[in-house]
Amino acid sequence: MTRIGIIVGSTRPHRHARDVAEWALELASQRGDATYELIDLLDHPLPLLDEPLPPSRGRYEHEHTRQWAATVAGFDAFVIVTPEYNHSVPAVLKNALDYLYGEWNHKAVGFISYGTHGGVRAVEHLRGIAGELMMADVRAQVVLPFASDFDEHRRFTPREHNIKVLHAMLDQVVAWGEALAPVRHAQR
The pLDDT profile of the chain, 188 residues, written as one tens digit per residue, is: 999 999 999 999 999 999 999 999 999 999 999 999 999 999 999 999 999 999 999 999 999 999 999 999 999 999 999 999 999 999 999 999 999 999 999 999 999 999 999 999 999 999 999 999 999 999 999 999 999 999 988 899 999 999 999 999 999 999 999 999 999 999 87
Q: What's the CATH code, domain 3-187?
A: 3.40.50.360
Q: Are strands 3-8 and 35-40 parallel, antiparallel or unpaired?
A: parallel
Instruction: Sketch the domain layout of the chain as residue ranges.
Output: 3-187
Other Cβ atoms less than 10 A from the Cβ of 40: the count is 18
Which phi and psi angles does 109 have, rounded to 5°? -145, 135
Cα 40 to Cα 18: distance, rounded to the nearest angstrom: 8
- Report how far residue 14's alpha carbon sits from residue 23's, in angstroms, rounded to the nearest whole number: 16
Taking alpha carbons only, the member of 108, 113, 54, 110 closest to residue 87 is 113
Q: Running DSSP on this structure, what letter comes out for residue 13?
A: T
pLDDT for 61-95, tens place per residue?
999 999 999 999 999 999 999 999 999 999 999 99
First to last CA, the chain: 19
